[in-house]
Amino acid sequence: MAGCHTRCLPIVALLVAFLHGSFCHSGVNKNSDLQRKIYAEVHNAPACVRLLNATGTVGCAADPVAAPLLPLGNAATDPVPDGRMVVVSEDQLSIVLQRLQADAALHERVKGILVIRGSPASLTPADRFPLAAYAPYSNQGFAWNQNGTGVSMLDIGPVPVFLLEGVMAAQAQQRAEHNAVKGFNGPLHEAELDATMFAAGNASACITQGSCLPLGGHSVWAALPPMPVSGGDSKPIVIVTAGIDSTAFFHDRTKGADAPLSGLIAMLAAAEVLGNSSYADVYRKRLVFAAFAGEPWGYMGSKRFLWELHSRENSTLGLSLEQIEQVVEIGQVGRAADKSGQSAFYLHFQREAQFGAADDLVKAFLRAGDDKAEVSEASSHNPGIPPSSLMSFLRVKPSISGVVLEEFNTHFINPFFQSRLDANISAEAVTSAAIVAARALHETAYGTSEVPPLKIARSAVHATVAALVGCLLMGEPGLGCPLADELISPISRPEPAHYISTLPFLGQDSQDPDIAMKMDIERFIWNFLASRTASGPVAGSAGKQGGCDFSSRRCEEGAVCVGFRAVVKGSAGRGRCLRGTAKYVPSYSTRFGCKDCQQGNPFQWALSNSSLDWEAASAWPPDPMWTESNWPPGGVPSYKFYQREADGREIYMLTAGIFVTLLSFAGTTAAQAVYQRQLKQR
């Protein structure tokens, strides 16, 4: 070895220089650079996550798992060897999931599913009759949603499912095809997926353990004309409803443009038309505009609203079930227009004698049509009303007369119901729906045979609809739109989330607009409705010199603080006190409540039985108690791609590494010996 002292030095120096030059030339200067060179990685990726309900689990939950990528051309028939990560097109996802449910052995072989975005003609993972158990009729097999596959409600178990986007989708396809061309021999491209979820069992278990949170948010309602300062009065009430949120297989990519946002936007625009008119103060009936959160989850928003109404909570102060005579729901209306801009709408209602007669509402809507909008009764061969919040109201008070305004007659015409592709609507159709609704509601609220005409400028309604579409449905401007800047301080400027998400806690006051407790879209809707249904400013400008807020500068009773922006400091962030009535209503399962909150303890979710007698009295289906599992912080769900060398190659590389290590050791030893000898000579 002593003879190698001087001979090894040039070799070692050359090797070190080569390695250093190679890394520098490749741009690898530190560990993070090296990792980026080796892995293609995405954190907080759109993925199937675990939900839990009263009976078990839905969705996906999987510890980190890695396997070679396999392209699946025909999801129905292509064989899948053991230990593969399949790559499928979006239009074939439901086929793969249904195969897994039917074939336990295949379920074991598939280690994960990577989904490539596509442009299918139809994509609706909801059931053919969404929420059929809540229907006020026996025919629960009717296919309102003919293209529905029902895969959103499957318990997929330990098979992670991710949606790939942009360059990562292209990479996955290329890597999977490379593996297939090579016959899965030699170096293989693999994916490692992490969809770790903490909750297991069912909703009762995970809420008790603290491993999940309830799905939830806040509904909003506003009255026109506003409630009197002294409280409620004896005016009959017409509830006008629309939904706030939707769902999709990949929750983070929920859009809900047609269902339910087209109806929501039409309702908001109609509220503006009626609020701007001079007739509100003489209406014999009070219009209550209600935007419900969480309706895809067992009509959670409307059910909670009715429970809080029954419990006489502050969130429904001034309302009573006895005064609610009629309900008008604006459903899917965004695809009603043809290429010429002509829209066709259909009125759905219960025809049976045990329900309130809807004749007056139907006649008002039929008269509200014009040369841009045709309104017809839906087919009498339908079993009844389509999936809608009206089902909740008829359950607790069958004598209510109600109609649902829709773009379809017998079956949904929206091929993307509750999928990420429900992303486009016609502003012309929504404008027509808003005008029709405003005319019919004006006639209904006026309450006499001689109704003065309601003046409506279509161009003004269209401008409002276009502005709302920009705020609520577009990434640009999204909530960076002028309308949102005028009313709220959005936490996020892009398009707001359209999946309800989880409700971490409840504030002591449900009306507190704290940005930690209210989603951007909820605060936006509250401020829009509050400002459009208010009868005018409170005497003395803002009610308090310098504007209002929700702490020390509150408005007086009977007024609302509109335009308060908490993140804008000083007087610039304060709002205006307007004479009006607008409320938030918490939306979450009636089977959940706060544990020991009466004793002033920190907020903690717990099970509650307080609503059971009320639910039994109206024969509600068992509450689904929807929750979402907690998962680890730090980027989960996540995935990464990399190439794994062949087994023989790995042995070769290991041997080479050992040789280089030994050579380096020998060189270092030699260098030390030379250095020590020279030191002694000196």
C-beta atoms surrounding 166 within 10 Å: 9
pLDDT category, 16, cuts 50, 70, 90? very low
Under the banding of pLDDT at 50, 70 and 90, the label for residue 449 is: confident
Structure tokens at 215: 């799905």
Instruction: With CA atoms as reference, report the closest residue to 347 among 335, 334, 331.
Output: 331
What confidence score (pLDDT) does residue 550 get? 86
Catalogue the E-assigned strands of 93-184.
110-116, 155-157, 161-164
Q: How far apart are CA 352 and CA 348, in angstroms?
A: 13
Give the span between the Cα atoms of 484 and 482, in whole angstroms: 5
DSSP assigned state of 399: T
Residue 300 has pLDDT above 50, yes or no: yes
Higher-confidence residue of 609 and 25: namely 609
For residue 623, what pLDDT is reported? 98
Paired tokens of 332: 């899917």
Distance CA 293, CA 299 (A): 9
Q: Which residues contact 251 (CB under 8 A, 6 or more apart)?
A: 49, 499, 501
Residue 652 pLDDT class (50, 70, 90 cuts): low
CA distance 390 to 394: 6
599 pLDDT band, cuts 50/70/90, is low
Per-chain mean pLDDT for the chain: 91
Strand partners of residue 241:
290, 329
Distance, CA of 514 to CA of 202 (rounded, Å)? 31
Over residues 418-433, the mean pLDDT reads: 97
* Residue 340, burial from CB neighbour count under 10 angstroms (0-12, 13-18, 19+): exposed
The label of the residue with tokens 């001034």 reads: 318
Dump strand ranges (E) for 338-464.
Answer: 343-348, 373-377, 401-406
Separation of CA 385 from chain center: 25
Highest mean pLDDT: which range of 39-48, 325-334, 589-598: 325-334
Q: Which residues is 628 bridged to in the sheet?
A: 51, 213
Q: Burial, 157: exposed, middle or buried (Cβ in 10 Å; 0-12, 13-18, 19+)?
A: middle
pLDDT of residue 434: 98
Q: If we measure between CA atoms, which residue out of 419, 446, 529, 158 comes closest to residue 278?
A: 446
CATH number for the segment(s) 216-535+580-588: 3.40.630
Whether 147 shows a pLDDT value over 50: the answer reads yes
Q: Which amino acid is at 108?
A: E
Render pLDDT for 221-246 as a digit per residue (tens, 0 to 9): 999 999 998 766 889 999 999 999 99
The mean pLDDT of 263-273, rounded to a whole number, is 98
Nearest to 260 by CA among 407, 461, 47, 396: 407
Cα–Cα distance measured from residue 678 to residue 230, given in angstroms and rounded to the nearest whole number:
101
Q: What is the pLDDT of residue 657?
A: 74
Integer Cα distance of 53 and 363 in angstroms: 42
Instruction: Indicate if the pLDDT at residue 17 is higher than 80.
Output: no
How far apart (Å, rounded) are the C-alpha atoms in residues 89 and 173?
10
User: Got the DSSP string for 586-602?
Assistant: EES-TTEEETTGGGTPP
- pLDDT of residue 18 exceeding 50, the answer is no
Outline where 370-505 has alpha helix (H).
Answer: 390-396, 427-446, 458-473, 482-487
Q: Which residues contact 532 (CB under 8 A, 6 or more apart)?
A: 222, 268, 271, 272, 275, 276
CA pair distance 127, 662, nearest whole angstrom: 64
Can you tell me the distance from the alpha carbon of 193 to that of 60, in angstroms, rounded to the nearest whole number?
A: 12
Instruction: For residues 599-622, give the mean pLDDT.
Output: 92
Instruction: Report how far residue 243's alpha carbon sits from residue 84's, in angstroms, rounded to the nearest whole number.
Output: 41
Q: What is the tens place of the pLDDT at every residue in 277-293?
A: 999 999 999 999 999 99
End-to-end CA gap in the chain: 24
Task: Look up residue 495 and give its two tokens.
Answer: 């398009």
Q: What is the pLDDT of residue 482?
A: 93
Rounded average pLDDT over 320-332:
98
- Grouping H, G, I as helix, E, B as strand and the rest as coil, residue 298 is coil
What are the sequence ranges of the domains in the chain? Answer: 4-38+646-681, 42-203+633-644, 216-535+580-588, 538-577
